[in-house]
Amino acid sequence: MPQDQQDRTIVNTDQLVDVDEATRRRAAGALFLDVRRRDKGGPVPPVDGAVVLDKARAAELLDPSSPELLPELEDAQDTEIVVFCNSEFGSDPVVGKLNEFGYRRVSHIDGGYRAWEATLRQG
C-alpha cells in the first residue's frame, strides 16, 4: 500500500465492487464517474464513456439542487453509478457525497483504476 494511504480509512466498504462486477455494471449501462486527479502533472489515460468529475467540486457537481449539477446526473437518483479513482481511497469520499445526496445505486471499484487497468492488461 502506498505510504499516503496507510493511515486512511475506507468508510463505504459495503459499496466496494471488484473489477469483474464493475465491468458487468458498465456493460449493463452504469454511469462511470472518473474522479482521478488531473493536476499531478502526469498523463491520465481516458476511460471510454466515463464522465470526469473534479473531486474538489464534488459538492456542487453532485447536488441535485445545484445549478452546477452534472447533466448526466439529472434525475439519476436510481441510476447505477460506479465511481473510480486511482484507488478506493480517492473514490470513497465521492461515494459518500453521492450517498448524502440520495443516490441509491452507488459503488466504487476495489483497487480503483489501478486494479481496472491491471485486469485489462491481463486480457
Contact 57, 33 (CB under 8 A): no
In the predicted model, what is the mean pLDDT of residues 46-73?
A: 95
Q: Is residue 8 part of a domain?
A: no
Least confident of 7-16, 19-28, 37-46, 105-114: 37-46
Q: In the chain, pLDDT over 90 holds for what percent of residues?
A: 76
* CA–CA separation, 18 and 22 (whole Å): 6
Q: Is residue 4 part of a domain?
A: no
In the predicted model, what is the mean pLDDT of residues 81-97?
A: 96
pLDDT value for 7 = 59
User: 108: how many CB neighbours lie within 10 A of its CB?
Assistant: 29
Q: Is residue 74 part of a domain?
A: yes
Identify the H or E element spanning 100.
helix 88-100
Domain holding 21, by residue range, is 13-122
* CA–CA separation, 58 and 91 (whole Å): 11
b/e sequence 66-100, b meaning 16+ C-beta within 10 Å: eeebbeebeebeebbbbbbbbbbbbbbbbbbbbee
Give me the residues paired with residue 82 across strands: 32, 107
Count: domains in the chain: 1
Give the three-class secondary structure for 52: strand
pLDDT value for 123 = 65
pLDDT at 6 exceeding the cut of 80: no
Q: Is residue 72 part of a domain?
A: yes
Q: Which residue has the higher pLDDT, 121 or 57?
A: 57
Sole residue written with cell 463505504? 12
User: 122: how many CB neighbours lie within 10 A of its CB?
Assistant: 7
In the predicted model, what is the mean pLDDT of residues 1-9?
A: 58
What CATH number is associated with residue 112?
3.40.250.10
Q: Is residue 40 part of a domain?
A: yes
Q: Is residue 7 part of a domain?
A: no
Q: Is residue 50 part of a domain?
A: yes
Q: Is residue 1 part of a domain?
A: no
